[in-house]
Amino acid sequence: MSNDTPSSVSSREHTAAFLLLRLFLGLRALLAGIEKFESGGNYSFEIYYRNMARMANGITSASFMPLWATKTFAFFLGYVLIALGLALLLGVRTRCALTLLGLTWVGLSFGLMAVQENEGVAWLATYVGLTAGALVLVRHNRFALWSGRS
């Protein structure tokens, strides 16, 4: 017979569920950021800025959004995704990283909504939901380098 009480088992399950969400979202953000630097198997800053300019111009030309807004968002996007992905994977300021990642997904969704790219919006809605679920479970964050007040 086990000495586990229902609350300790539940706490371990919540910790495991949060860890899985944190790892998935961290990997997804990290790889989404890195892929912005890629074209034809090559990675560079030049490729990044070319890709982001193309993304910004495409959204501006197909929507009501001004080029200055789409360029500003696009040029920071890859760096933000990489930084937030690493923060989540390492467990650095997890609550803050999740909140900022959720806002990033919402910002990306807004751009895709503006160009009526419904399939992309649906994918991002899944990430928003997973991020919201992780925020609900963040109090079960046990494996972090620096949690701060999370």
Q: Kindly report the length of the chain.
A: 150
- Is residue 22 domain-resident? yes
- Is residue 38 domain-resident? yes
Task: Please name the residue that has the structure tokens 């467990």.
Answer: 91
- Is residue 30 domain-resident? yes
Quick one: pLDDT at residue 6? 59
Residues 97, 88: Cα–Cα separation, whole Å: 6
- Is residue 128 domain-resident? yes
- Is residue 148 domain-resident? no
Is pTM beyond 0.85? Reply is yes
pLDDT tens across the length of the chain (150 residues)? 455 565 666 888 999 999 999 999 999 999 999 999 999 999 999 999 999 999 999 999 999 999 999 999 999 999 999 999 999 999 999 999 999 999 999 999 999 999 999 999 999 999 999 999 999 999 999 888 776 654
- Is residue 9 domain-resident? no
49 contacts: CB under 8 Å, gap ≥ 6: 75
- Is residue 146 domain-resident? no
* φ and ψ at residue 39, rounded to 5 degrees: -155, 120
Residues 57, 62: Cα–Cα separation, whole Å: 9
Residues 66, 68: Cα–Cα separation, whole Å: 6
Structural domain count of the chain:
1
Quote the domain boundaries for residue 66: 15-140
